[in-house]
C-alpha cells in the first residue's frame, strides 16, 4: 500500500468474473472509483492541472478549452504508447483501439516512417 494517500492504490480488491478481460476489469475499477468520487489517478491529475491552468488565467475566461485539453492528452497518450511499443505502429494502434491509418494521421511527421 502506498505511503502517500494521493498515490494510486494498485492493490484494489475487486471481485471479477473469470470471463472479464484485464481491460474490462480496469474499466470496472475506474468506474467504481469515479462513482465513489475518488476518481482515478488520471482524473485527479487532469483536475490538478486544470486548477493550475485556471489559476494562471487569473480570472480570464478560457477559450477552446476542450480542444486544448483533448489535444494535449491525445498527444501525450500517443507518444507514450508509441514509446512503450518501441515504434511499432500496428501494436500501438491495437493498444489504443484505433486503426493504424488513424494512428498514422495523428503522428507527427517525424514518427510516420
Please report which confidence band the pLDDT of residue 16 belongs to, taking 50, 70 and 90 as the band edges: very low
Mean pLDDT of the 33-38 span: 60
Share of the chain above pLDDT 90, in %: 60
**pLDDT at residue 11 above 80?**
no
Distance (Å, whole) CA 90 – CA 96: 10
Quote the pTM value: 0.62
pLDDT at 108: 84
Pick from 93, 35, 108: nearest CA to 14: 35
37-76 pLDDT per residue, tens: 679 999 999 999 999 999 999 999 999 999 999 999 999 9
Q: Domains along the chain?
A: 21-62 (no CATH), 63-113 (1.10.10.60)
Amino acid at each position: 500500500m502506498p505511503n502517500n494517500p494521493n498515490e494510486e492504490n494498485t492493490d484494489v480488491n475487486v471481485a471479477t468474473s473469470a470471463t472479464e478481460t484485464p481491460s474490462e476489469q480496469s474499466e470496472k475499477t475506474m468506474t467504481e472509483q469515479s462513482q465513489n468520487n475518488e476518481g482515478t489517478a488520471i482524473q485527479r491529475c487532469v483536475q490538478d492541472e486544470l486548477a493550475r491552468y485556471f489559476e494562471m488565467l487569473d480570472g480570464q475566461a478560457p477559450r477552446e478549452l476542450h480542444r486544448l485539453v483533448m489535444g494535449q492528452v491525445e498527444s501525450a497518450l500517443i507518444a507514450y504508447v508509441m514509446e512503450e511499443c518501441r515504434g511499432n505502429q500496428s501494436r500501438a494502434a491495437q493498444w489504443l483501439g484505433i486503426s493504424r491509418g488513424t494512428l498514422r494521421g495523428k503522428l507527427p511527421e517525424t514518427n510516420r516512417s
